[in-house]
Amino acid sequence: MNTHEYWLFILAIPVACISWTVTKEEVFREIREYFVEKSKTASHILKRKLFYMLTCEYCFSHYVTLFLLVLTKYTLLYPGFTGYLISGFSIVWVANIYMSLYNLIRVDLKKEKIIAQKEADSVKESYEVRDQT
């Protein structure tokens, strides 16, 4: 694998980060809720689809990738339009793998946190029962 191919995995990182942050994190919640509402109530189907694509991390990653490709002029395998097309879909694919892995890690951490909290509550209750007797 040459250095040009490594850029595929490096460029997918900001795409995943930006896409996840805009579509999932609290900092953009109000905007996202507005877009979700518009995606359900807009009068024209194209407007509904556009607003939906701004709330879906997979869909949004295409926009971010397009912006990144314009900014970096990165192509993969071929020069010109074909290289942009291949690199665009490749970056989206890798970025979505990154986001899926991140989501799995977050779910696992949340699950462990809930289990730890239940165990802490159980220990606290047993101390309270013991202190009352």
Which residue ranges make up each domain of the chain?
3-99
- The helix (run of H) or strand (run of E) holding residue 121 is helix 80-132
**The pTM is what?**
0.78
What pLDDT score was predicted for residue 60? Answer: 95
Percent of the chain beyond pLDDT 70?
Answer: 93
Instruction: Report CA-CA distances (Å) from 21 to 30, 53, 57.
Output: 13, 14, 9
What pLDDT score was predicted for residue 121? Answer: 74
Give the pLDDT band (50/70/90) at residue 129: low
Asked if 92 contacts 15 with a C-beta cutoff of 8 angstroms, the reply is: yes
Asked if 92 contacts 65 with a C-beta cutoff of 8 angstroms, the reply is: yes
Question: Residue holding tokens 């939906």?
Answer: 52
Cα separation of 3 and 9, whole Å? 10
Say if residue 115's pLDDT is above 90: no
Q: Determine the average pLDDT of the residues in 102-110.
A: 84
